[in-house]
Structure 1
Amino acid sequence: VLVAIGCGLLAGLINGTLVAYTRIPPFIATLGMMVTARGVAKWWSKGQPISFPTEGFAAIGKGLMPVIIFISLAILFQLILSYTRYGKHCYAIGSNEDAARMSGINVQNHKILVFVIAGILASLAAVVLSSKNLTAQAGMGVMYELDAIAMAVIGGVSLSGGRGSIIGTVIGALIFGVIISGFTFLRLDAYYQEMVKGVIIIGAVVLDQWRQRLRAMRA
């Protein structure tokens, strides 16, 4: 578990450094890291699934433990964003990076820390998923990144930065989960679910752009 979290931390540190100091767009940096990490995982595992028969590890993904982890982290980071200087600085950087820099905020360090935290949380999610399935393979989690984008935008997160909350994202995740669960309950084929997911993602992005234009008109 610690090795997995350490790998996530390292990936986040590399991503954050690239974004902060080379001006690479965050989406490109994270996409490149995702493909690279997946390739390394396939090489390390020789393309074969890895089983985890240990009962202690299996307990992480069983029962209420994933829910407890999820709720605890959601509350923690909502408090950080709402009531700490670091959280306010994150919103400021997302709204206007140049203004944040001129106000004395160390933009580079904040960006790196954001990516490090994201890497740690992604690795923790991978640990929970592997524990639930009692196995790990390089192809696990494919396309989850697009689901995450849709959940965040549905929950009110602006893709241009500066707006959003953990609570809103949780609500977006619940809405998205209910929709997908409904398709499963109706026994719709997988390709129908993928089509609807794509429409939801596009609709969420269009909604975000529309909200930005509306705010600009009001300003």
Structure 2
Amino acid sequence: MKAFIYCFFLTISSVVSFAQGFEYEYFLPTEGDSGVVIRWVIIEGSTCDGMIVEHSPDSINYSRIHEVFGTCGSANFDVPYQFTHTDPKENSKNYYRIRFGQIETSEAQCIFILDNSTVVVPNPVSDNLSIYFENPFSKPMHIEIYNGNGQMIKTGSTIGNKYSSNISSLPKGVYFYRLFNGIDLRGRFIKQ
């Protein structure tokens, strides 16, 4: 089972209007059985000549992952669309946007996908450590951090699916961590 974490919320199920009078209702990418499900609705009276769904691992370089050919939308009724991205990047941010013909491009939406493990952002880290993990029932999660010699140097706990700590005082090197609350998750990070 994968955990899906929203990176940030820009437009949540609200109508977006462009200067040309084109309107769409955009939903965040969501977890699906076989990948990331992207749903949107073109509002009645708005049309475009084709649509392209794009994906990016860095919010800068996008690639086409789906295309709708021909006239999109309708003058008489709202038209819903859906696409499932079956190959998102695991343990990484996934950015999505939609190009509406030659009219406009939606705001980028982001979802973070964990593959039943943990992920450190950023890694290597210099100051602020963030470890994301799956914790579906938001139970208290305990953490132990060890240096390269196996000595425990830090402990803590958190509720939710993220542990954060300022580690600027730690010396450079490789560190290991253990998260536990009935499950046992392990990983490592590099302090630079």
Whether the TM-score (by the shorter chain) exceeds 0.5 is no
**Largest Rg, 1 or 2:** 2
TM-score (norm 2): 0.24
- Give the helix-richer structure, 1 or 2: 1
TM-score (norm 1): 0.22
